[in-house]
């Protein structure tokens, strides 16, 4: 009986001994890099007689993790956004000064330990139309399937954030809010 009790105590003591090794793993994350696979960025424009979505599948992205911090960069050519109307796309390119500033870039930093969480809280720095805007605490939802991290969310961007004069149609300006829907798949590279 006492021998059994002793064995039980020893078995209970073993996990306590193993725990420090796990905490050591959490503290020191390995360097890692990520690459953006498939992506869909969709801006939505509202006008009293128009609702328009412009879609780009041409975004490129990369992430680098070091010392527990990961820096990410996503970039998409402005002219890659397709609203289904070439005239409107040219007008968008002109309004956003897309020939002078041909790429929209998004930068954010995340702790490496949070990369597998179902919700990612990102502080975004977006360069667009020659202006940099910051969007703190933008939530992205994440689902992980094997190595693929599928991320979705909405960036609550506005025209005034980037000092863009609202284009008009039939002399009526479009709405200031231009939310950008993000749907992308990242994987470790």
What does the binding site for another protein look like in residue numbers (CB under 8 A)? 2, 5-6, 9-10, 13, 16-17, 19-21, 23-25, 27-33, 48-51, 60-64, 66-67, 71-73, 75, 77, 83-88, 90-91, 93-95, 97-103, 105, 107, 147, 169-171, 187-189
Cβ at position 34, least distance to another protein in Å: 9
Closer of 73 and 133 to another protein (Cβ): 73
Closer of 61 and 153 to another protein (Cβ): 61
Beta-bridge partner residues of 127: 105, 132
Closer of 6 and 139 to another protein (Cβ): 6
CA–CA separation, 119 and 121 (whole Å): 6
Cβ at position 92, least distance to another protein in Å: 10
Cβ at position 173, least distance to another protein in Å: 13
CA–CA separation, 4 and 172 (whole Å): 84
Cβ at position 159, least distance to another protein in Å: 16
- Contacting residues for 75 by C-beta, under 8 A, at least 6 apart: 59, 60, 61, 103, 104, 105, 106
φ/ψ region of 84 (left if φ > 0, alpha if ψ in -120 to 50, else beta) reads left
């Amino acid at each position: 009986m006492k021998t059994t009790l002793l064995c039980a105590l020893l078995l209970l003591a073993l996990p306590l001994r193993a725990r420090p090794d796990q905490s050591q793993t959490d503290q020191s994350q390995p360097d890692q890099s990520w690459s953006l696979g498939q992506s869909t960025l969709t801006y939505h424009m509202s006008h009293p007689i128009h609702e328009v979505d412009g879609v780009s599948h041409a975004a490129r992205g990369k992430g680098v993790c070091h010392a527990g911090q990961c820096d990410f960069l996503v970039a998409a050519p402005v002219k890659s956004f397709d609203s289904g109307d070439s005239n409107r796309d040219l007008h968008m390119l002109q309004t956003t000064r897309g020939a002078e500033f041909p790429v929209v870039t998004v930068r954010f930093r995340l702790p490496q330990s949070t990369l597998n969480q179902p919700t990612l809280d990102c502080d975004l720095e977006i360069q667009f139309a020659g202006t940099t805007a910051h969007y703190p605490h933008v939530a992205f939802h994440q689902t992980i399937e094997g190595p693929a991290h599928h991320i979705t969310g909405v960036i609550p961007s506005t025209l005034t954030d980037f000092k863009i004069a609202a284009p008009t149609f039939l002399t009526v300006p479009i709405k200031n809010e231009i939310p950008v829907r993000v749907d992308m798949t990242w994987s470790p590279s």
